[in-house]
Amino acid sequence: MKKFHYRLILSFYIVSLIAILAMGSAIIYNLKIGAENETLINTTAVITFITAIVLSIVSIIIAIISYKKSIIPMAKMLDSSSYDSDNKFDISKNDKDDLSELATELHNKLIEANRRINQTETILQHMTDGVISFDMDGNVTYINPEAKDLLELKDTDNTFNKIFDKYRDVDNMEKIIYLEDWTSSEKKVTNNRGSMDLFFVAFKDEINRPTGLMVVVQDITEHVKLDNMRKEFVADVSHELKTPLTSIEGFSETLLDGVDDKETQEHFLHIINDNAIRMQKLVQDLLTLSKYDSKRNMGPKTKFDLGELSKSCAEKFEIEVKKKGQHLQCITTADVPPVYADKDGIERVIINIISNSVKYTQDGGTIDVYVGYVHDDAYVKIKDNGIGIPKADLQRIYERFYRVDKARSRQLGGTGLGLSIAKEIIEQNDGSINISSETGSSKHGTEVIVKIPVAKE
């Protein structure tokens, strides 16, 4: 900067000098060409000389004034700034410090902003919910992989209409955004993947004008399934309780109306009693199920001999088996180490499985109970040559109230809860239960294997 105002002053001096030289040249020229009129020459020379002097002085004054009026303030304004030898803008040390501090701050802010963008991107990429954002024209501006998966989208599905047109319940984008007082809305839709919950949220600017739309997609398939199961369960319980209650009500009313025949009276009373027992068994099973469901009051785990327990369970069926002319035996096939589990729970499971075998095996059939040990697990295998379970029903056998033949099960005193309770108990004891079955063929029958971990040393 300093060099600049030196140059300015210098240029004024040069201009003054050129003016003096010009005037001098004019005098010499006049001297040469006009020798005849000496007075005129002298007068011209004097005037030219004075003009040159005056011009020089004026130039110097202008230079000084301009230096004071503009160069000094400019220099002051730019203070310590100047141009370096390469004519590049040079910055003082203080400014340099300030600027580098500013640059560092900016750099750090950029790194922080980038870090946040990456973080958000990672979260969105790995979220279990789908996220899609749209601009005001309905074009997709962001979509995460989960959204593509949940809504079964192709790369060409890149607008709001292409994505949501197939769902009749979803309004068009303008309607969603411009709905009065609208901030967010929710819609439930179903596709081949299952049930989805869609949340629509508008992006707004500082004056509350919509600038786009975000859609969050949540997979609620499991939730819907559980909800349906709960509804079905309530309906099943009501139904199971209603049937014996209706029977009790009907027969007791008939008795109250007066039945003279003693035999009929006794028969009706037996029916009432059977139904009351059935209801009690059902309520008892429901309570057991709820106990294991909520993991409340699960019996304490202890070390016990699975062979001995299985034997005592089998003995409980002696009278029933004898009545049906069945053959029931319990064999321990290997040296089985003690298991570590909830003994009462396991006893309940073994009794239920043997009871099913006795119930669903024809008179004269056989039921074998084997206890053994394989790969750190003790097992009990209950095998019968009964009616078997059809393949289609096998996968639903652990569902609450599921029975292959409802009437038959009821008649035999079943509630349809036995195997679901068994599965719950075995899983809570870190074991497993597997059922295989054959129907129709000569090899018909059912085999249930329950594995329980042995106690660690």
Q: Give the integer Cα–Cα distance in Å for 118 and 38.
A: 95
- Tell me: does residue 450 bind ligand ADP (CB under 6 A): no
Q: Are 374 and 335 in contact (CB under 8 A)?
A: no
- The span of 24-32, 112-120, 131-139, 397-405 binding ligand ADP (CB under 6 A) equals 397-405
Distance of closest approach, residue 285 Cβ to ligand ADP, in angstroms: 8
* DSSP labels, 159-176: BHHHHHTT-TTSPPHHHH
Q: Does 218 participate in binding ligand ADP (rule CB under 6 A)?
A: no
Judged by CB under 6 A, which stretch of 107-115, 141-149, 398-406, 426-434 contacts ligand ADP? 398-406
Of the pair 130, 414, the CB lying nearest ligand ADP is at 414
Sign of CA dihedral 338, 344, 345, 346: positive
- Beta-sheet pairing, 210-219 with 130-135: antiparallel
> According to CB under 6 A, which one of 387, 426, 433, 449 is a site residue for ligand ADP?
387
Are 133 and 214 in contact, with CB atoms under 8 Å apart?
A: yes
Asked if 397 interacts with ligand ADP (CB under 6 A), we say yes
Total residues belonging to the chain: 457
Residue 288 is a binding residue for ligand ADP (CB under 6 A): no
Among residues 218 and 352, whose Cβ is nearest to ligand ADP?
Answer: 352
327 φ, ψ (degrees, to nearest 5): -115, 115
Contact 161, 139 (CB under 8 A): no
Binding mask 41-80 for ligand ADP (x = CB under 6 A): ----------------------------------------
429 is an interface residue for ligand ADP by CB under 6 A: no
The closest of 11, 10, 16, 7 to 58, measured between CA atoms, is 16
Q: In the complex with ligand ADP, which residue's Cβ is closer, 143 or 387?
A: 387
Q: How far is the CB of 348 from ligand ADP (least distance, A)?
A: 11
Closest CA to 211 of 179, 175, 178: 178
- DSSP state letters, 72-91: HHHHHHSTT-EE-TTSPEE-
Only one of the segments 137-145, 168-176, 384-392, 423-431 lies at the binding site for ligand ADP (rule: CB under 6 A); that segment is 384-392
Minimum Å gap between C-beta 422 and ligand ADP is 7
Q: Is 141 helix (H, G, I), strand (E, B) or coil?
A: strand
Touching ligand ADP, residues 3-42 (CB under 6 A)? none
Q: Is residue 409 a contact point for ligand ADP (CB under 6 A)?
A: yes
The region of 129-137, 251-259, 265-273, 400-408 touching ligand ADP under the rule CB under 6 A is 400-408
Token code pair at residue 35:
């020798």
365 makes contact with ligand ADP (CB under 6 A): no
Rounded distance between C-alpha atoms, residue 184 and residue 170, angstroms? 13
* Interaction between residue 414 and ligand ADP (CB under 6 A): yes
416 is an interface residue for ligand ADP by CB under 6 A? yes
User: Does residue 244 touch ligand ADP according to CB under 6 A?
Assistant: no
DSSP state of 139: B
Based on the shown chain and the rule CB under 6 A, indicate whether residue 380 belongs to the binding site for ligand ADP.
Answer: no
Q: Which window, 119-127, 149-157, 171-179, 403-411, contacts ligand ADP (CB under 6 A)? A: 403-411
Stretch of 137-145, 163-171, 255-263, 402-410 contacting ligand ADP, by CB under 6 A: 402-410
Contact flag: residue 357 with ligand ADP (CB under 6 A): yes
Dihedral angle sign, alpha carbons of residues 242, 247, 250, 251: negative
# chain residues binding ligand ADP, by CB under 6 A: 21
Q: Where are the alpha helices (DSSP H) in 144-295?
A: 145-150, 160-164, 173-178, 221-257, 262-293
Residue 386 interacts with ligand ADP (CB under 6 A): yes or no: yes
**Which of 162, 124, 168 is closest to 140 using CA atoms?**
162
Q: According to the binding rule CB under 6 A, does residue 347 interact with ligand ADP?
A: no
The β-bridge partners of 194 are 191
Edge-to-edge, what's the strand order for the sheet holding 210-219? 140-143, 130-135, 210-219, 194-204, 184-191
Q: How far is the CB of 343 from ligand ADP (least distance, A)?
A: 20
Q: In Å, what is the CA distance from 282 to each residue of 20, 371, 415?
A: 128, 30, 6
Give the one residue of 23, 346, 389, 454 binding ligand ADP; rule: CB under 6 A. Answer: 389
Residues in the site for ligand ADP, rule: CB under 6 A?
352, 356-357, 360, 384, 386-389, 397, 403-405, 409, 414-419, 446
